[in-house]
Amino acid sequence: MTPRASDLSTLEVARPSELANPARLSMLGISKRFGGTPALDNVDFEVAAGEIHALVGQNGAGKSTLMKIVAGDYTPDSGVVMIDGNTVEIRNPRQGLDAGVGIVYQELSLLPNMTIAENISLGREETRLGVVARDAARKMAEKALALLGIDRLDINTRIGRLSLAQQQIVEIAKVMSYGPRVLVLDEPTAALSLDDTRKLFSALRHLRESGVGIVFVSHRYGEVLEICDRCTVLRNGKVVGRETVAGLTLERLVELTLGELAHRSYHAADPARPGSTGAKEGPGGTPLLRVEHLSVGNTVVDISFHVDRGEMVGLCGLLGSGQSEVARALYGDAPEVRGTVALDGQVVRLSSPRAAAAHGIAFITENRRDEGIFPDLAVVPNVTAASLRESWLAPLVPLLSPRQERARSRKVTDQVGVPRAVEGRRLRLLSGGTQQKVVVARWLAKGSRLLVCIEPTRGVDIGARADIYGQLRDLADKGTGIVIVTTDIEEALVLCDRVVVCFAGHVSAVVDPREATEESLFLAMQGLGQGSDENGR
């Protein structure tokens, strides 16, 4: 193992300018706690000039906390951040940029109605007598794009007309035009196709020549091995590996990521887990849900799987592999869907959420803030939102009396563990975990054949998480089929009866949690699965 930087000597002695290859970014002894839990524990992280350095680790291992510290969103409890050997204090994103740190987030900050040149120079336009100097903007844009090796993109094109890959590159160019020494890329390939990824990588290689230190945060180990020079692995807030990529194998990387959990198998070791009691076949052996050759837009190419009544099936994959789109398609909320979906043997057309709900499908979104909760309404109306009595004569259809409605709501909120004390408070004021429970309660109140949920425990504390798991298990035991989209391996293995792994829009493996290990699931998510085993019966 590479000796850790802090092992060499104390900071006073090892002056970075004396090192062979002065580090662009040096984070030494970084620790950060949130409440009682340590998110980062004495982490050293260094990126040299002209290198692409991967930062990897599972969700919750500390990657995003570390990057938030670099970005200025968090301040470390202890430790030092240095850029080009100079200690810096970054308290907000603006300071970060001034200090020489540029961050490219997954959500692009480009304005689609303005051109590339206008976007890159936005906020810093040079003016001559009040008139924007277009040539200065042009030069800035062209210079920035040249850093990425792009010289044939017309800077007068509006962002709205560019492909996603092109937009991503413009976003990087925009950040680069501020002249940062360190560039952090947060999951840059999550939404890109293989083709686009290749283009992005050639741009990154070009960028490397300019001497900037690039941090490549990613879950995609195949790509990490392809493009990066070195790699730092975090696990549970600590650095567990710092490797040069040349000579590094995927297996070694997975081992480092998962630690001793890599070979743990869940179901065999856990007697408490009830085991797959749920899976029931319908009459004649038809599955509750059968999806055949589903394709959604550009992300999902060909996915087939089935769900039996009472079965919990996990749809796992790295971000952008297509599992979320499949889930949305099952709820009528995806454009350009092709393929067949059959419920209890009958082919259905799911053209809208209403159509899906009419067929008995329920949906829990991953984005509860924008799509899930009604922030200014209390718990009870939030819970009953999906169970309102419908009819053409809606104006005349009476709601249940307040007492009845409250009783109905309490039946499910008690079940999921929402304390009655907060019943009357607006959702906006409740914790993420409680909010999520309310959303779950909403669909429990409705009663459905199939429940589709995406990241049902994202941003939810441990206690609430356990409650929600219990609820889902109960639901399955009562006969509802459940599809869970998740990127959390542990969740998938603990909760599901079967895991369908998606990679690049295809099914890369179907895994039985009783036989799988975290490692095998992880590898499957990276595309190294046993191939689409998912046949119908």
Where in 336-355 is the site for another protein (CB under 8 A)?
Answer: 353-354
Among 379, 450, 483, 510, binds another protein (CB under 8 A): 379
Radius of gyration (C-alpha) of the chain in whole angstroms: 25
How many residues are present in the chain? 537
Q: Which helix (H) or strand (E) holds 61?
A: none
- The long-range contacts involving 403-409, CB below 8 angstroms and separated by at least 24 positions, are 405/380, 405/381, 406/380, 408/383, 408/384, 408/445, 409/379, 409/380, 409/383, 409/384, 409/441, 409/445
> In the stretch 168-197, what mask flags binding to another protein with x, by CB under 8 A?
-x----------------------------
Among 246, 269, 272, 396, binds another protein (CB under 8 A): 396
Distance of closest approach, residue 437 Cβ to another protein, in angstroms: 16
Within 250-309, which residues bind another protein (CB under 8 A)? none
SS3 309: strand
Q: Total binding residues for another protein by CB under 8 A?
A: 76
Give the pair of three-digit tokens for residue 221.
């180990």
84 alpha-carbon distance from chain centroid: 31
Q: Which is nearer to another protein, 11 or 153 (CB)?
A: 153
State the residue for tokens 């949130």.
34
Q: Which is nearer to another protein, 29 or 149 (CB)?
A: 149
The answer to the question of residue 397 lying near another protein (CB under 8 A) is: yes
Q: Which is nearer to another protein, 134 or 264 (CB)?
A: 134
Distance of closest approach, residue 218 Cβ to another protein, in angstroms: 20
Q: Which residues pair with 453 in a beta bridge?
A: 364, 484
Within 451-510, which residues bind another protein (CB under 8 A)? none
Among 442, 492, 501, 506, binds another protein (CB under 8 A): 442
The answer to the question of residue 72 lying near another protein (CB under 8 A) is: no
Among 386, 416, 476, 493, binds another protein (CB under 8 A): 386
Contact predicate 147/206, CB 8 Å: yes
Distance of closest approach, residue 75 Cβ to another protein, in angstroms: 20
Q: Which is nearer to another protein, 261 or 400 (CB)?
A: 400
Distance of closest approach, residue 222 Cβ to another protein, in angstroms: 21
Distance of closest approach, residue 416 Cβ to another protein, in angstroms: 17
Listed residue (442, 294, 317) closest to 372, CA to CA: 442
Distance of closest approach, residue 115 Cβ to another protein, in angstroms: 10
Within 422-441, which residues bind another protein (CB under 8 A)? 423-426
- The long-range contacts involving 193-198, CB below 8 angstroms and separated by at least 24 positions, are 193/165, 193/298, 193/504, 194/504, 195/165, 196/163, 196/164, 196/165, 196/168, 197/223
Distance of closest approach, residue 252 Cβ to another protein, in angstroms: 31
d(CA 444, CA 430): 20
Within 111-170, which residues bind another protein (CB under 8 A)? 111-114, 118, 122-125, 127, 130-132, 134, 148-154, 163, 165-166, 169
Kindly state the DSSP code that residue 514 receives in the 8-state scheme.
T
Among 6, 59, 95, 202, binds another protein (CB under 8 A): 202
The answer to the question of residue 18 lying near another protein (CB under 8 A) is: no
Kindly state the DSSP code that residue 529 receives in the 8-state scheme.
S
> In the stretch 29-58, what mask flags binding to another protein with x, by CB under 8 A?
------------------------------
Kindly state the DSSP code that residue 3 receives in the 8-state scheme.
P
Strand arrangement, sheet containing 238-244: 101-104, 182-186, 213-217, 52-56, 230-235, 238-244
Among 35, 285, 370, 535, binds another protein (CB under 8 A): 370
